[in-house]
Chains A and B, each alone.
Chain A
Amino acid sequence: MSAADTTTPAKVPPTRPSPPPRADARKPPGRRGSGSAGTPWLLLAPCLLVLALVMGYPLVRLVTLSFQKFGQSQLWGFQPAESVGFDNFAGVLGDGEFWQVVVRTIVFAAGCVILTMVLGMVIALLLQRVSGWVKTLVNIALVASWGMPVIVATTVFKWLFDSDYGILNAVLSKLPGVDLIGHNWFASGPQGLAVIMLLVIWGAVPFVVITLSAGLTQVPAELEEAARLDGAGAWGVFRYVTLPILKPIIVMLTTLSVIWDMGVFPQVFVMRNGHPEAEFQLLTTYSYDRAFVVNDYGQGSAIALVTVLLLLGVVAVYMRQMLKIGEVE
């Protein structure tokens, strides 16, 4: 700390030019401010400390664990954890089931993200065209579903899709030629995951709609008008005027959605009463299963690490976008 204080001023004069203009504007010249080099770090210290403890350390531990043999006996301290090199990864990657889970997770997340974004965009555009009172109604419904705790939403969907008394089967069966009374939506993986996808989308669409609606208000009406005068149809205006202006928001929302939808856990876990069947396993539940059910923490960590690595590319795009936004101020 003190070392930093003494070294930085010595080096600083050449690089300083950027702060001083602000400093000068901020206060009458020559008054206080010289002790401020350490202030931001002092303000940041508690935050960084907490994050290092609960995020930094576990992240490192996740990596080391994935290279160790770590089971029950290591957990209770009967045996020290020993390094096994790439054995965990070899075990995981050599398992056919793992690749099925990877493909299933990617298909599931892609479905969620695409449908969420498309529906979100459609609803946001629709809200621009409806009367005020309809807009208010839709907004209330959106915010209510957005605010619903995930667990509550999951139990509600479980009830809607219940095979015997669920309202969905009863209503659908009223349609001519449809008989779904007693139909179990969770008997097969794809159908069950489709229901879970619906649940995820239902919870995710409101955030997208509300953020996009806020963005749409920033699209200058003159631009759209001009495009229309130049002969662009509704689609043309959307494609060449609205969409490019909204692009930063769309990139942000899409990357966030990818990260969230790849991390879906409670929905599957609670829908399947705490024991998702093999057909329902996503990377998250699979990793959980390996660690806490099979008690192989090493392999569980390896799976989690692979998930994080899969997401790195998406995270990079998101960060670039956020930094661009951040630079404006």
Chain B
Amino acid sequence: MSTVSAPRRSKLGWNILGLLVFVVVGFPVYWMLNTAFKPAKDAIDPDPSLLPTSVTFSNFGRALDIADFWGPVGRSLIVSLAVVVIGMIVGLLAALAISRFAFRGRKIVIVGILAVQMVPLVAMIIPVFLLLNDLNQYDRLSGLVITYLTFVLPFTVWTLRGFIVNIPKELEEAAMVDGCTRTGAFVRVVFPLLAPGMVATSVYAFIQAWNEYLYALMLLSQKNQTATVWLGNFTTKHGTEYAPMMAGATMMAVPIVVLFLLVQRKMAAGLTAGAVKG
């Protein structure tokens, strides 16, 4: 009897700690949702109730009223989708080159791609701003798309490489023995196996582009702002109205968090492929 209850009691202690972590980590998300759905007057109650009081959608209406919401969201969508499409095509080609070919300079290319990933983007904002200014791309979505490729591309190449090396070469070789060309083997054998990884990588790249703030702020004028800048500027004549702001935050975050939940497992697998064996 005691042998059963001892481990159970120790598990109880751990579980309580675990629940504490759950509450602390989850609280900001909970409070965002809680505020977004509560009547605006309850949001400025000096003695706020931790549990939901009553549910209302009026904050969402107010958030949409305060400033144009769909314009920024549309622009964010255009930019993010363009970045994903270009990033995936260009990134896949490069990932294939460094994972399936042995060639001179391969290592230098890998080092280069990793190094590029490490340059803090914030440090680059001044020259990038001047470059787009010179190219007449300031305040254009195309300028922003090309800029976002700096951080999406190295990431895409590196992650896709991780997925590709996990597909046994023997499968391709077998297809080629059976008479496929190299391209044919890729399209018929590798590509179907790579597809889930590609979907996950695209979603992840999309999220990164969607969440970007600094470049969007600097490279587009107020009238062309994206969704993140929209939220960052969320103030009204009456100061910050927190309830509608949380409603805006909810609208921006929920789709992204859901997407993220869907692909996170797959990504973690790709990112850490072989990490422990090192």
Contact = CB atoms under 8 A, between A and B. Distances in A.
Interface of A: 8, 18-19, 22, 25-28, 32, 36-37, 39-41, 43-44, 46-48, 50-51, 53-55, 57-59, 61-62, 65, 75, 123, 126-127, 129-131, 134-135, 137-138, 140-160, 162, 164-165, 167, 170-171, 181, 202, 205-206, 210-211, 214-215, 218, 245-246, 248-249, 252, 259, 262-263, 265-266, 269-270, 273-274, 284, 287-288, 291-292, 297, 300-301, 304-305, 307-308, 311, 315, 318-319, 321-329
Interface of B: 11, 14-15, 17-19, 21-22, 25-26, 28-29, 31-32, 35, 43-48, 50, 89-91, 93-94, 96-99, 101-104, 106-107, 109-116, 118-131, 133, 146-147, 149-150, 153-154, 157, 165, 169, 172-173, 176-177, 181-182, 207, 210-211, 213-214, 218, 228, 231-232, 234-235, 240, 242, 245-246, 249, 252-253, 256-257, 259-261, 264, 268-269, 271-272, 274-278
Contacts of B278: 248, 321, 324-325, 327-328
At the interface, is chain A mostly helix, strand, loop or mixed?
helix
Kindly list the 9 A-B residue pairs having the minimum CB-CB distance in the complex, ordered from nearest: A147-B260, A47-B94, A141-B26, A58-B127, A61-B127, A304-B123, A43-B97, A263-B120, A40-B101
A317 to B, nearest CB: 11
Contacts of B274: 325, 328-329
Given A32-B181, A40-B98, A157-B28, A54 B147 contact: yes
A311 B120 contact: yes
Contacts of A44: 93-94, 97-98, 109
Given A8-B104, A126-B14, A156 B276 contact: no
24 contacts: A39-B97, A47-B91, A47-B153, A47-B157, A51-B113, A51-B150, A61-B130, A129-B14, A137-B19, A149-B210, A152-B231, A162-B242, A211-B271, A248-B276, A248-B278, A259-B120, A262-B120, A270-B213, A288-B122, A297-B130, A318-B114, A319-B114, A323-B111, A329-B99
